[in-house]
Amino acid sequence: MTDTKPVLEARGIVKIFGQHRALDTVDFTANAGEVHALLGENGAGKSTLIKILTGAYQPEAGELLLDGQPIHLRDPLHGQTYGIGTVYQEVNLLPNRSVSENLFLGRQPTRFGMVDHKRIDALARDLLSRYGLDVDVRAELSEYSVAVQQIVAIARAVELSGKVLVLDEPTASLDRNEVQRLFDVVRGLKAKGLAIIFITHFLDQVFELADRVTILRNGRKVATQALDTLNTTDVVRMMLGKDVAFDHHPTALTGGPKGAVRVAFKGLSRKGLSPFDLAVHEGEVVGVAGLLGSGRTEVARLMFGVDPSDGGQITVDGQPVSIRNPAQAVAAGFGFCPEDRKLDGIFGDLSVRENIIIALQAKLGWLKALNRDDQVELAGRYAEALDIRAADHDMPVKLLSGGNQQKVILARWLAIDPSFLILDEPTRGIDVGAHAEIVRTINRLREEGLALFVISSELDEVVAYSNRIVVMRDREMVAELDGDAIASDAIVQAIAGTATEARP
Amino acid sequence: MTRPTVDLRPTGQPPLPRPRPLAQFFTRPQVIALAAVLLVNWALFPGFFTITWQDGRFFGSLIDVLNRGAPVAILAIGMTMVIATKGVDLSVGAVMAISGAVAATLVTNGVSAPIAVLAALGAGLLCGLWNGILVTLLDIQPIIATLVLMVAGRGLAQLITEGTIVTFSDPVLIFIGTGSFLGLPMPVVIAALLMIAATLIVRRTALGLLIEAVGVNRSAARFAGLRAGTLLLIVYTFAGFCAAIAGLIVAGDIRGADANNAGLWLELDAILAVVIGGTSLMGGRFSIPMAVLGALIIQSMNTGILISGFSPEFNLVVKSAVIIVILVLQSPLSARLFRRLPGAQK
Amino acid sequence: MNVIKTLALGAGLASLLLSAAYAEGLQGKVIGFSQIGSESGWRAAETSVTKAEAEARGIDLKFADAQQKQENQIKAIRGFIAQGVDAILVAPVVATGWEEVLTEAKEAAIPVVLLDRGIEAPEDLYLTSVASDQVKEGRVAGEWLVGAVGDRQCNIVELQGTVGSSPAINRKQGFEEAIAGKANLTITRSQTGDFTRSKGKEVMEGFIKAEDGGKNICAVYAHNDDMAVGAIQAIKDAGLKPGSDILVVSIDAVPDIFAAMVAGEANATVELTPNMAGPAFDALQAYWDAGTEPPKFIITESKLYTPADDPQGEYDRRKGLGY
């Protein structure tokens, strides 16, 4: 912070996709030795700006200056040669190569024309030790946690470039300790004089780590300000353009009359998961709390038939059903928004419209094709209802932002007129605005009589929409909180194993 | 059951303009490429477009292109769907040999032609089902799974024919390969009917969309309740069926089943036809008519080379050069360049 | 694949008449025969002719099918050596990699005779090799055509074998030698038909279109009979008469070309005999009886067949040989 020399400057950047102005005369400056946070809602233009700064996109207008000199970036590789490196949310390294290979890929030291593995490994160990990382560099990258992979990616990016480091949602899939570890690394790099551009949707992290913040909204820059002059409400107001405080406290959720039992699971079990009983009522949200690896995703997969059960019964509206695969689950009126949107959720190359109607089409069978008018109508109706922001519904869904993609998947399940909806981390990797919308949608669906089973690692969020909360620990449902018992503290205690077990 | 409909405001989106297929068709790079290759052929041989009526059928180089292109076109119809699911079927050439061998061996042993034809088609379906089972149930990578039958299938065909060319004189089988209907060679008629039927089936039903969904993201397809396994089985079985038809045509054409050579390397031509037709090997969007067009482009080149009088040493060079040009033309890069041309923008 | 195709050329059968004089000499000898496989009709015919030749001479033939694999052939040869056979015949699947096993045979004093094709190994490792002369085959075909057309102007179209394969190169060369200097004979078009019936037909179709509906073609020369059979169908489809409107001459003498001759649709074929074993056995007998070193290369006869040579009889004789 002592050094405020601008390193990377963008002036008057304009980027147009089709009819849509993704960025409209945006200025941005990253100084040496600062962490500059970039904030904005879905579709505000954050990733577009980043892609321009790193060379992945070329702007229609405006210029980039590096150390005061204008530069023209052809592609990210070219950006790298100027010292601009990027680490994305989804680490894009090679998971099945060793840590050291990932660090030095493309510039391996060679000996007699052969890759010198010994030297690479030594260099890699040395490099990572500077990041406080002591791992077996010969092991495959995929064997390590996302946090370690993230640090490896940072180390690689810094090695390759070393002037500007762009961190695109680096903490999205990290736990608290890992986040701190990552922040230590970032602070170290900042002290070395790197300009760090930090994109996240965790406001508390912004305040913890960043020096300045630039806020984008609808492709325009709202403000660039030092963070010590701001508070959270200011930032949210600037991002959303209205006073939307995220409501953490449930109102009148508890104690209301429950509807009839919609789905009941009795003694459902699978190897590695304790058998469980659970009934979800009409108009009820059962929230699931638990740490990663507590078995919460496994329960969801079991319910939906992704993994077949070893035993137990499932009834829907009192009728026994057999669910051995997702197709049967869909036939029974179940819907499932999986945790990994990109891998298990969206069909990237298919259109928004097709992504919305696909589950209904699968349920109807291949012979009963929804014609184009039906598809357009359905997609239009649910896109409208969930406020999916897409230029048109024939564009590939992969071009939408994460939040909009999540809404598309939600729309897909609403389209089958579901009786029971399973949501696994529905708000992960989504910015504040869309986050709030999805929480509102969950509440609305509950009010309209749907039975929901929602997994989230954000306690405040679970508390905000759940009628009941199931706590999982060590692949077992260890507690069930109902009514007044629902509170963050109680959940934390249950997760930690200090509360009296509420379930038999 | 209560209906959890969400708050519905009137939809603000105007209905989308429907695509105009004909206008789009003539500006496709494949159509332009075919036209270019045909024009080059015409320049090399002025009688190229001449079509005469002779012995109750059309006769001419253009007819030859259609007729000779038919087997690969038929393979490409099945291959398109396999590739759309992000798979590939290397065995279709060998399945052609099996189909021809079965039909020829049966008719030479006195079995009636319709039964022999059904048996050959059945053999093709079985081969396809086998591939589908390897890919679906055993989860073997398609390229490996179908490689098994590519190698073993030809051996199987050789076993059936005992290594010889089984020559037959059955009029029904010969009609399939060399007969004509409304003046057009039977192979052309069969390929056209198959293309129309397959296109209608995949586009009038939801099959096409479901296949594309599986190809784009098989895992997501499963989560969305698609029966991906069943779809894959159908697709590979259909590819085997197409290969069997092509095998019957090739055998009927030379009045014999040549297990060593029937369909040899044609799987590669079929894959190329599909790729030229714009279906990505990464799966997803596909077009059957475009793949058939791809097969015709390949055959136009083959026929062009034959009538041009080039020395045969140049065959592969000429062919690969043209294919490179076509693939570059339809690459995303050239699409971008094309859009930047003045006047090209709407 | 090319190796197989080269070897897979259809062929004909020379005389099955055996000289009774030899019968005594090889009586009771044990001879091993490592065959490539049965990938083509000609190969199958070679196997059955070899077995017939051995039986007629009272030889105890040990037959081993290598199924296209050299390692199987080497295994078979080692087996023959272990059994202490009197001689070994090998139709080698590839040209290289034979030195070790042939040295073992030599050390065991077992003479080895190569059939169909040569190998890259020192000549002292085998007694002799029996093969046809591919250039001569082309020359015989060309000489027949020269005689058949006389002084008439004749445009020839050529259906070549697989580009770069030795039979394609040699049969082309021999034919060109035969018609060299005859101003009235010219090859106007030449394309590869890959030795297959279906490509032969397709290429001939193209030639006919390109040469004014076939009116400018006087003769077709095919590097093998299979392509000729395909070409005959193309000529018929074009409404012309093969054998008279367009002369058909080819090489190999497989049964189907004799069937075409019976129908008057083919004019001449040059035999690639499947009887490679006969001359091999003769050489072995001379070697054992009189100590005669045979020449290193024994060339089989390249006999010409025309419709005058009882094609129906030739067809019947060959049909049972496994073509």
Cβ–Cβ < 8 Å for A281, A301: no
Higher pLDDT, B28 or A382: A382
A344 vs B: CB within 8 A: yes
Q: What is the pLDDT of residue C19?
A: 40
Helices assigned H by DSSP within C183-266: 197-210, 225-237, 255-262
- All structural domains of chain A with their residue ranges: 6-96+140-240, 246-333+418-504, 341-416
* pLDDT tens track for B77-115: 999 999 999 999 999 999 999 999 999 999 999 999 999
Cβ–Cβ < 8 Å for B168, B255: yes
Q: What is the pLDDT of residue B236?
A: 98
Q: Do B55 and C239 touch (CB under 8 A)?
A: yes
Rounded to an integer, what distance in angstroms lies between the CA atom of residue A260 and that of residue A251?
Answer: 22
* Confidence at C30, pLDDT banded by 50, 70, 90: very high
Tell me the CATH class for B58-330: mainly alpha
Q: Mark A270-303 as b/e (b = at least 16 C-beta within 10 Å).
A: beebebbebbbbbbbbbbbbbeeebbbbbbbbbb
Q: What is the DSSP string of A341-394?
A: IIIII--TTSBHHHHHHHHHHHHH-SSSPPPHHHHHHHHHHHHHHHT---S-TT
Rounded to an integer, what distance in angstroms lies between the CA atom of residue C309 and that of residue C262?
Answer: 10
Higher pLDDT, C246 or A162: C246
> Quick one: average pLDDT of C54-60?
93
Rounded to an integer, what distance in angstroms lies between the CA atom of residue B196 and that of residue B217?
Answer: 27
B345 vs A: CB within 8 A: no
The mean of the pLDDT values for chain C is 89
- All structural domains of chain B with their residue ranges: 58-330
Higher pLDDT, C237 or A402: C237
Q: Could you tell me the two tokens for B274?
A: 């599909």
Q: Do B220 and A343 touch (CB under 8 A)?
A: yes
Rounded to an integer, what distance in angstroms lies between the CA atom of residue A217 and that of residue C19?
Answer: 102
Handedness of CA B18, B21, B27, B28 (dihedral sign): positive
* pLDDT tens track for B165-193: 899 999 999 999 999 999 999 999 999 99
Q: What is the pLDDT of residue A19?
A: 60
C142: pLDDT strictly greater than 80: yes
Which residues of B are less than 8 Å from A325 in CB distance? 222, 227
Which residues of C are less than 8 Å from B305 in CB distance? 191
The mean of the pLDDT values for chain B is 89
B340 vs A: CB within 8 A: no
* pLDDT tens track for B142-166: 999 999 999 999 999 989 988 788 9
B201 vs A: CB within 8 A: no
Rounded to an integer, what distance in angstroms lies between the CA atom of residue A439 and that of residue A448?
Answer: 14
Cβ–Cβ < 8 Å for A448, B4: yes
Q: What is the DSSP string of B264-285?
A: TTHHHHHHHHHHHTT--TT-S-
Tell me the CATH class for A246-333+418-504: alpha beta
Rounded to an integer, what distance in angstroms lies between the CA atom of residue C27 and that of residue C60?
Answer: 8
**What percentage of chain B exceeds 70 in pLDDT?**
91
281-320 in B: which are within 8 Å (CB) of A? Answer: 284-285
Please tell me which of the candidates C198, C238, C259 has its beta carbon nearest to residue B254: C198
Q: Do B216 and A317 touch (CB under 8 A)?
A: no
Which residues are CB-neighbours of C180 under 8 A, at least 6 positions away? none
* Confidence at B6, pLDDT banded by 50, 70, 90: very low
> Quick one: average pLDDT of C275-288?
93
- Residues A451/A455/A458/A463 CA torsion (nearest 10 deg): 30
* pLDDT tens track for C121-131: 898 999 999 99
Which residues of B are less than 8 Å from A361 in CB distance? 206, 209-210
Q: What is the pLDDT of residue A90?
A: 66
3-state secondary structure A58-127: CCCEEEEEECCEEECCCCHHHHHHCCEEEECCCCCCCCCCEHHHHHHCCCCCEECCEECHHHHHHHHHHH
Q: What is the pLDDT of residue C2?
A: 42
| Binding-site residues on chain C for chain B (CB distance < 8 A) | 1, 4-5, 8, 38-41, 43-44, 160, 163, 189-192, 194-199, 201-203, 205-207, 209-210, 226, 229-230, 233, 237-239, 256, 259, 322-323
* Confidence at B14, pLDDT banded by 50, 70, 90: very low
Q: What is the DSSP string of B203-256?
A: HHSSHHHHHHHHHH-HHHHHHTT--HHHHHHHHHHHHHHHHHHHHHHHHHHHTE
Are A and C close enough to touch, i.e. 3+ CB pairs under 8 angstroms?
no
What domains appear along chain C, each with residue ranges and CATH number? 2-132+273-300 (3.40.50.2300), 134-271 (3.40.50.2300)
Q: What is the pLDDT of residue C31?
A: 96
Which residues are CB-neighbours of B153 under 8 A, at least 6 positions away? B91, B94, B95, B97, B98, B127
Please tell me which of the candidates B64, B163, B262 has its beta carbon nearest to residue C43: B163
Rounded to an integer, what distance in angstroms lies between the CA atom of residue C37 and that of residue B163?
Answer: 10
Q: What is the pLDDT of residue B19?
A: 54
* pLDDT tens track for A356-401: 999 999 999 988 889 999 999 999 999 988 888 888 899 999 988 8
Min Cα–Cα distance to chain B from A325, Å: 8
Residue A396: Cβ within 10 Å count: 19
Phi, psi of A277 (to 5 degrees): -115, 135
Task: Please report the number of interchain residue pairs, chain A to chain B, with beta-carbon separation below 8 angstroms.
Answer: 129
Domains A6-96+140-240 and A246-333+418-504 fall in the same CATH topology: yes
Residues comprising chain B, all counted: 346
Higher pLDDT, C169 or A504: C169
- Find where tokens 């054998």 sit: C243
Q: How far is CA C1 from CA B261, C7, C172, C277, in A?
A: 10, 10, 21, 25
Task: Tell me which residues of chain A have a pLDDT lower than 70.
Answer: 1-3, 18-20, 41-43, 89-91, 108-113, 236-237, 240-258, 291-293, 429, 431-432, 488-489, 496-504
Mutate to test the interface with B, among A16, A282, A358 (most CBs of B within 10 A): A358
Q: Where are the beta strands (DSSP E) in A103-248?
A: 110-111, 114-115, 164-168, 195-199, 212-217, 220-226
ipTM given for this complex: 0.85
* pLDDT tens track for B287-315: 999 999 999 999 999 999 888 888 888 88
Domain A6-96+140-240 sits in CATH 3.40.50.300 = yes
Q: Do B158 and C39 touch (CB under 8 A)?
A: yes
Which residues of B are less than 8 Å from A380 in CB distance? 11, 13
Rounded to an integer, what distance in angstroms lies between the CA atom of residue A125 and that of residue A115?
Answer: 17
Q: Where are the beta strands (DSSP E) in A205-310?
A: 212-217, 220-226, 261-270, 273-281, 284-289
Q: Mark C113-148 as b/e (b = at least 16 C-beta within 10 Å).
A: bbbbbebebeeebbbbbbbbbbbbbbbbbbbbbbeb
